[in-house]
Amino acid sequence: MQSRSKYIKQLDDLEAHVQRLGDHVVADIRAAGLALAGDEGSAEGVLQGRKAERRLQHAIESGCLDALLLQQPLVAGDLRFVSGVFRIVSDLSHIGSMTRDIAFLSQSVPGEIVARVGENLAASCEKTADMVALAVGAFKDADEEAARRVFALDNEVDELYKRSQDVIVEMIRTTTSDPEHLPELLMVAKYFERIGDDAQRIAGWALFRVTGHHEVYYKAHDGEGANEAFPS
């Protein structure tokens, strides 16, 4: 068993790595929004950032395994922290994958088509970036109040998706030209909605760190909406 001081430093390093990964993913979400607005350099930056993201993920996963294997027994709070970190890495990885898909699609969907829902997509981008930043910070600080605020923001993201969906479906229905890129644009809007869902899961792990229960997971699988469980 390693010394307590070395173990505490290991946990501190894990926390710092999670914050760095969260910052990286949030920056990529915002860059994806710029890419949709026509900034080709932002799109390339997101697409090329995969290696840096993977290095951080590997460092976090290795740190979690070391803590689990080399420090036994773990006290309850530490075990919740390490378990939560392991799951958050997966959620952030999923967000990163969707963000790269948005950046990729931004290179093929014509700007004049994106502009039809550009305001809604820009708002979705900012709100989901804020949600991820708030959720990661809530986990890092074991802040239950901040974690619960994430769920209220998701209501707004869901509404923005519905607005974008309505516009795009109407465009598909009424267009007299080739609607080839409209399903891709709908996919972009859906990605932002799913990023909001992943941010909620991260907030759920922040609550798990504090309470020992990942309430979002249980509510979702009980057939209740996450936002019903956590009113603003």
pTM exceeds 0.75 for this model: yes
CA-based nearest residue to 158, from 118, 117, 189: 189
- For residue 107, the 8-state DSSP code is T
What percentage of the chain has pLDDT greater than the value 90?
A: 66
Instruction: Decide: 212 and 76 in contact? Cβ < 8 Å.
Output: yes
Quick one: pLDDT at residue 75?
A: 77
Model confidence at 232, in pLDDT bands (50, 70, 90)?
very low
Quick one: pLDDT at residue 125?
A: 97
Structure tokens at 65: 């395994």
Q: What is the pLDDT of residues 31-60, one digit of tens each?
A: 999 999 999 999 999 999 888 899 999 999
Q: H-type helices in the chain, by residue range? A: 4-36, 40-48, 50-70, 76-106, 111-114, 118-141, 144-174, 182-211, 215-221, 226-229
Could you give the CA distance from residue 150 to residue 132 in angstroms, rounded to a whole number? Answer: 8
Name all contacts of 79-82 with Cβ < 8 Å and 24+ positions apart: 80/208, 80/209, 80/212, 81/11, 81/14, 81/209, 82/11, 82/14
Q: What is the pLDDT of residues 57-91, one digit of tens each?
A: 999 999 888 887 777 666 788 889 999 999 999 99
Quick one: pLDDT at residue 1?
A: 52
Rounded to the nearest 5°, which phi and psi values hold at 146? Answer: -65, -40
Could you give the CA distance from residue 213 to residue 231 in angstroms, rounded to a whole number? Answer: 17
- For residue 117, the 8-state DSSP code is G
- Domains in the chain: ranges and CATH: 4-229 (1.20.58.220)
Instruction: Decide: 186 and 168 in contact? Cβ < 8 Å.
Output: yes
Q: What is the pLDDT of residues 183-219, one digit of tens each?
A: 999 999 999 999 999 999 999 999 999 988 876 644 4
Quick one: pLDDT at residue 45?
A: 94
What average pLDDT does this structure show over 218-227? 44
Q: What is the pLDDT of residues 117-158, one digit of tens each?
A: 999 999 999 999 999 999 999 999 999 999 999 998 999 999
Quick one: pLDDT at residue 2?
A: 55
